[in-house]
Amino acid sequence: MVGIGKMGLSHHAIVNSHPHVKIAAACDTTAYLTDVLGKYTGLKCYSDLDRMLSEEALDAVVISTPSRLHASMVEKALQRGLHVFCEKPFVLDVADGERLIALADSKGLVTQVGYHYRFVGAFREAARVVASGALGRVHHVRAEAYGPVVLRPKGGTWRSAKNEGGGALYDYACHAIDLVNFIAGAPKSVGGVALRQTFSRDVEDEVYCSMYFGNGATGQLAVNWSDESFRKMSTKVTVWGTNGRVSADRQECQTYLREAHPELPDTPTGWSVRYTTDLTQEVWYYLRGEEYSAQIDYFVTSCEQRRTDGVNTFRSALQADRVVEQILAEEHSGVRTVQAPVPLAARQGLWARLFGRA
């Protein structure tokens, strides 16, 4: 396990409870966390990735470090012939991604990125409805993601530093973009980009843009992680076609068909709603959501079967990074001009952080 932050800890618990996996070691630069885990669970811990990779006999790694570090760490793991599960976004530079895909392919290694929404029943249902053609000619897609992540100007972690891969575009919008790719296909180009700062100093809090698809369809992306009215991240995708529309969030999938369609025999004319209670498959261990366990189980199975063309491969995830790059190329608000990096809390010593001012 590489990185034991918020996501790393969650992945750790899930991987640790998987009957087919043994965690050999974990690595994090914050010795504090690895020490606690080592002390209370007997986990072998490293603070240096190179050392861990050279000393441990591993089959795979799970990388949950700040986004800026993904590319180099993935490369090191692939070079040693390890299968890799990497948190999203995959990479911050598409060129890195292409290189890593070639490397993984050359060694026949399994790759997967943490776009867990592809394992959520309601979104899978939406993808199924669209893929069936029951909506007729798809002409518009809307993807939205809202949440209460940044509600204050102050920010002292990597998520508030743009050169670390922080900001609503890399951290939030990527999920929505990958969902669009999953449910309706990847857009060819983007336009009308607005990256706005609401509270953050150095990164954007809101992302808005139009999307243009190869088949002539249009799309809109709206992402805002400074909305307190949402208790937690809320993601929604709607697809319009000439024969109806489908709308899905994490809990339910609502479909409206003007006329029933032979490719969707279980869906009548008019409204039908399917809920998470209906659409979710059971997992062996639950933490925060079935999708987190399901994606790990999928990765483990892929490693066992050497399945290199499954769900959320690097190749699939890179499509989201391409859209992000297009958005950055198009935006006009000048948020991402180069500035001196924001000093991070991690750079203070432990005592300063424990006894220093809030």
Partner 1 sequence: MDRVLFGDNQFFGVNHMSEEKARAQSMRFQGLQAIIDVLDAAYQEGIRTFMCTTHDRVGEICGYFRAHRDKYPDYRFYPCMPYAHKYANAVTEHGMVDALRRFLPDDGALGAMLKGGVALANKDVRGIMQLLIDAEMKMFHGLSTPVIFVQNVITDLLLGLGMKEALKIFADHVRDKYQAEPGFITMNTPMLLDVLDELKIDNPIVCSNINKIGFRMCGGIDLYEKTIATRRFRPVAMSVLASGAISPREAIEYVCGQPQIESIVFGASSRTNIRQTKALIDELSAR
Nearer to partner 1, 42 or 216 (CB): 42
By CB under 8 A, what part of segment 216-235 binds partner 1?
A: 231-232, 234
> In this structure, which amino acid lies at residue 174?
C
By CB under 8 A, what part of segment 23-52 binds partner 1?
A: 30, 32-33, 35-37, 39-43
Q: Write the DSSP string, 252-313.
A: EEEEEESS--TT-TT--SEEEEEEHHHHPPP-SS-SS-HHHHHHHHHHHHHHHHT--SSTT-
Interaction of residue 148 with partner 1, rule CB under 8 A: yes
Shortest Cβ distance from residue 320 to partner 1 (Å)?
Answer: 21
CA atoms of 348 and 81, how far apart (whole Å): 36
- The residue within the footprint of partner 1, chosen from 218, 275, 307, 330 (CB under 8 A), is 275
Interaction of residue 130 with partner 1, rule CB under 8 A: no
- The residue within the footprint of partner 1, chosen from 75, 98, 227, 252 (CB under 8 A), is 252
Interaction of residue 13 with partner 1, rule CB under 8 A: yes
Interaction of residue 244 with partner 1, rule CB under 8 A: no
Nearer to partner 1, 80 or 288 (CB): 288
- List of residues 6+ apart from 212 with CB closer than 8 A: 187, 188, 189, 190, 191, 218, 219
CA atoms of 197 and 276, how far apart (whole Å): 34
Nearer to partner 1, 14 or 126 (CB): 14
Interaction of residue 17 with partner 1, rule CB under 8 A: yes
Shortest Cβ distance from residue 212 to partner 1 (Å)?
Answer: 29
Burial class (CB in 10 A: 0-12, 13-18, 19+), 133: middle
Interaction of residue 285 with partner 1, rule CB under 8 A: yes
> In this structure, which amino acid lies at residue 108?
G
CA atoms of 67 and 89, how far apart (whole Å): 7
Strand pairing class (138-146; 218-224): parallel
Distance of CA 227 to the CA centre of its chain: 20
By CB under 8 A, what part of segment 334-353 binds partner 1?
A: 345-346, 350-351, 353
CA atoms of 314 and 110, how far apart (whole Å): 9
Nearer to partner 1, 28 or 325 (CB): 28
CA atoms of 160 and 171, how far apart (whole Å): 10
The contact set with partner 1 (CB under 8 A) reads 5-6, 9-10, 12-14, 16-17, 30, 32-33, 35-37, 39-43, 148-150, 152, 154-157, 159, 231-232, 234, 249-252, 275-278, 280, 282-288, 290, 345-346, 350-351, 353-355, 358
